[in-house]
Amino acid sequence: MREGFYRQTARVEDAHWWFVHRRRLARALLASRARLADRPLRVLDVGCGSGGNLEWLAGMGHLAVGLDRSVLALELCRRRSAAAPVVRSRAQDLARLFRPGSFSLVTVFNVLYHEWIENEAEVLAGARRVLEPGGYLLLTEPAFDWLRRRHDAIDLGARRYTRAGIESIVQQAGFAIVESSYFNALGLAPAAVVAALDRLRGTPEAGRDGHEETREIAVPARGINRLLLALCSLERLWIDRVGRMPLGVGVIVLARSPA
């Protein structure tokens, strides 16, 4: 991520409906599908960014550790939650940094799609090695290559995934899938329109022109933001009670390491 994008994310991630929805969906999935409530948790947030997810993860257990390659990201994390330890390193180096079985849960929120990740399965295999037997992996990634747009370029995103594609990578790394679904169906049509316009303009890689912020994560007016959050609650209810969403701007996967 570019520095401007890190700073923008730090400003909006507590309020913007998309960030709030993703956190609530992740919490709901962990509560309903993972057996983590009866013991203290040791959590590693890979690619912790500006720290919005690390803060709520720290509330789930006795220890939450953030890891990121960016000096600025870790500085923003420390400003937000001084108590949570953070480590500067690459996602590819987990097995070198931590002992086997160090964590109960590893989270990877929109990390694998970045251009500096050359082998996603290698990163996840490292996550499996630092998890305790039967530990959990929770990840989200952007969905569908045909949704690539200026936003992706600003965020240095190199690829997007189908649900089947990311499941295959997770399984290749040695995990068993517990649950997976697309999410943020609400944003699918707007994202598709923006992606199509970018292609028509011939600027799908815009963002490499010095601009480091994106209008897509500007917080909407309060009433609109609340309405979108209310609609997203229906999506979370659907995933919890009915099952997978067939489409969405993102994909979420909960998986388990061998016991």
Which pLDDT tens digit goes with each residue over 61-78? 778 999 999 999 999 998
User: In this structure, which amino acid lies at residue 141?
Assistant: E
User: In this structure, which amino acid lies at residue 174?
Assistant: G
pLDDT of residue 38: 64
Three-state SS for 48?
coil
pLDDT tens across 202-242, in order?
A: 754 544 555 677 888 899 999 999 999 999 999 999 999 99
What are the chain's domains? 3-256 (3.40.50.150)
Cα–Cα distances in angstroms (integers) from residue 93 to residues 23, 54, 82, 84, 89, in the given order: 25, 19, 24, 20, 7
Cα atoms in the 13 Å half-sphere on the side-chain side of 188: 16
Below-70 pLDDT ranges, the chain: 1, 37-39, 203-211
pTM score of the predicted model: 0.94
The structure tokens listed for 173 are 């790394």
Q: What is the dihedral of CA 55, 183, 72, 58, to 10 degrees?
A: 10
Cα–Cα distances in angstroms (integers) from residue 129 to residues 8, 98, 156, 253, in the given order: 33, 9, 27, 18
For residue 175, give the DSSP letter.
Answer: P
pLDDT of residue 216: 86
pLDDT of residue 207: 46
